Amino acid sequence: MINYPNGKKRILQEHITDTSRRGMALETDINTTNIYYLDRDIAVIHKKPTPVQIVHVDYPERSHAKITEAYFKIPSTTDYNGIYRGKYLDFEAKECASRTSFPLFSTVHPHQIRHLEAVMRHGAIAFMIIRFTAHDETYLVPADKVTTFYNNAQRRSIPYSWFADNGYLIPLTIAKPVDYLTIVDKIYFDQKGGSS
Amino acid sequence: MINYPNGKKRILQEHITDTSRRGMALETDINTTNIYYLDRDIAVIHKKPTPVQIVHVDYPERSHAKITEAYFKIPSTTDYNGIYRGKYLDFEAKECASRTSFPLFSTVHPHQIRHLEAVMRHGAIAFMIIRFTAHDETYLVPADKVTTFYNNAQRRSIPYSWFADNGYLIPLTIAKPVDYLTIVDKIYFDQKGGSS
């Protein structure tokens, strides 16, 4: 069973699917969606900058600094956070090329799992967004389901079928290519739907 | 009049003041404090990475990427955010070398002001932390006071005396060199102190 809000079909999905968009596509789609939310004052959610260790900076002009040596750092938190309907919201997003499973342990760092657990203890709305590019499906999975799987893992990958049972298929429009707040409304704010 | 919690004196301040610590000192002090909060599960608050536009990356070894050309970007949000007592918390921190005024317009970007306004509309605890190094004082100023000054500004700098009237002097200990949550408790959670 796939959780899907309002029984709507993904009628727009075909329009924006082609192989060239893969890889960075999910990040681009989430950024587009976040700008939509921001412009309409629905939510204030931003991607954090990529953490970089800066080693050397040149000043070819007085006013213009050029970084000439730097290295990527392992992130200590998730990539996205912000505020929605008065609540702190926090999530990590990953694209997955496999048809059969999501490689949780090789994709998500242990301190990102600890971070999700910490923000949940403090009352956050926390989740992961995972896109199976081969299936052209993007799921929201509440963070507690991911951390429970992680902590009790018999295997290092989550089977694709697990997402249909534990996740929610995120609807999309052209303006909101990953309209995850529709799902957040349903599972975190709808009295019928569930929690808090 | 200086707002100061519990009438405590800054007895530890002398220990950790010397000129070598200036410049990056406030950031270091806030990071130390945030680690204290995180380790004791009091709050989950992180500094965002410095936003960098990456132009060129070398791969001298297969597993090791070296960024060889990158530039600093203007931040579109504040530097710090996270969750405390179930609330979204957001702030910007600045050090000020002047004895007489804080150069608001040359230090804080317009979109950082808009960001503070946006998160306040959505229910955030939002503020600025400003350290006057020459006075060895660190103030918390609620964001609405800063944005009101900004939007009605007759001048581009905020006089030092304004902070004593509108800000709260942040206490410190060695373990918590900028113990701003003490002030947050007082002004955002204490029924006697004020708002929600």
Task: Supply the pLDDT for residue B3.
Answer: 52
How far apart are the C-alpha atoms of A39 and A77, rounded to whole Å?
Answer: 26
Return all residues near A45 (Cβ < 8 A) that are at least 6 apart: A34, A37, A38, A80, A81, A82, A83, A84, A89
pLDDT at A190: 80
CATH number at residue B21: 3.40.1350.10
Distance CA A123, CA A1 (A): 28
User: By the CB < 8 Å criterion, does B48 face chain A?
Assistant: yes
Separation CA A195–CA A186 (nearest Å): 10
Quick check: A124 pLDDT over 90?
A: yes
pLDDT 10s per residue in chain B (196 long)? 455 555 444 434 434 444 444 457 999 999 999 999 999 999 999 999 999 999 999 988 767 899 999 999 999 899 999 999 999 999 999 999 999 999 999 999 999 999 999 999 999 999 999 999 999 999 999 999 999 999 998 889 999 999 999 999 999 999 999 999 999 999 999 844 444 3
Range of B164's domain? 5-49+75-189
pLDDT of residue A191: 46
**Residue A5's pLDDT band (cuts 50, 70, 90):** low
Give the H or E element holding residue A114: helix A110-121
Q: What is the token pair recorded at A85? A: 């309907």
How far apart, in Å, are the Cα atoms of A172 and each of A120, A169, B143? 26, 10, 35
Considering the domain boundaries, does residue B195 fall inside one? Answer: no
Measured between CA atoms, the residue of chain B closest to residue A54 is: B67
Contact of A113 with chain B, judged by CB distance below 8 Å, is answered with: no
Query: Residue B62 corresponds to which tokens in the numbers above?
Result: 């297969």
Given this model, what pLDDT does residue A7 score? 46
Nearest chain B residue (CA) to A40: B118
Query: A122 — contact with chain B (CB < 8 Å)?
Result: yes
Spatial distance between the Cα atoms of B85 and A138, rounded to a whole number of angstroms: 31
Residue A196 falls inside a structural domain: no
What pLDDT does A114 receive?
97
Q: How far apart are CA A84 and CA A194, in angstroms?
A: 18
Contact status of A121 with chain B (Cβ, < 8 Å): yes
Q: Which residue of A has its CA nearest to B44?
A: A119
- For chain A, the domain total comes to 1
Q: Quick check: is B54 in a domain?
A: no
Beta bridge partners of A49: none
Rg for chain A, CA atoms, rounded: 18
C-alpha distance from B196 to closest chain A C-alpha (Å): 12
Q: What are phi and psi of B176, to 5 degrees?
A: -130, 80
Q: What single string gives the DSSP state of each residue in B27-92? A: HHHHHHHHHHHHHTTSEEEEEPPPPEEEEEEEEEETTEEEEEEEEE---SS-SEEEEETTEEEEEE
Nearest to B161 by CA among B112, B107, B98, B106: B98
Q: Is residue B66 part of a domain?
A: no
Cβ atoms of B82 and A87 within 8 Å: the answer is no
Q: Name the nearest CA neighbour of A35 among A146, A50, A43, B170.
A: A43
Contact with chain A for residue B155, Cβ under 8 A = no
Q: Give the pLDDT band of residue A105 (cuts 50, 70, 90).
A: very high
Distance from CA of B18 to the nearest CA of A (A): 26
In a domain, B70, yes or no: no
Q: Do B49 and A51 touch (CB under 8 A)?
A: yes
Q: Tell me the three state secondary structure of residue A55.
A: strand
ipTM of the complex model: 0.84
CA A157 to the chain's CA centroid: 17
Task: Provide CB contacts within 8 A for B129, sequence distance 6+.
Answer: B26, B30, B91, B92, B93, B94, B138, B139, B140, B141, B170, B178, B180
DSSP string, B101-169: EE-HHHHS-HHHHHHHHHHHHTT-EEEEEEEETTTTEEEEEEHHHHHHHHHT-SSSSEEHHHHHHH-EE
Query: How far is it, in rounded angstroms, from Cα A123 to Cα B88?
Result: 10
Given this model, what pLDDT does residue B1 score? 46
The answer to whether residue A92 is domain-embedded is: yes
| Mean pLDDT value across chain A | 88
Residue A170 lies in a domain: yes
Q: Give the Cα separation of A163 and A139 in Å (integer).
A: 7
The secondary structure of residue A27, as a DSSP letter, is: H
Contact A128, A91 (CB under 8 A): yes
Q: Does A77 sit within 8 Å of B46, measured CB to CB?
A: yes
Query: End-to-end CA distance of chain B, in Å?
Result: 24
Domain-embedded: residue B13: yes
Q: pLDDT (tens digit, 9 = 90+) per residue, A15-74?
A: 444 444 445 799 999 999 999 999 999 999 999 999 999 999 998 876 789 999 999 999
Contact between B160 and B101 under an 8 Å Cβ cutoff? The reply is yes
Asked if A83 lies within 8 A of B122 by C-beta distance, the reply is yes
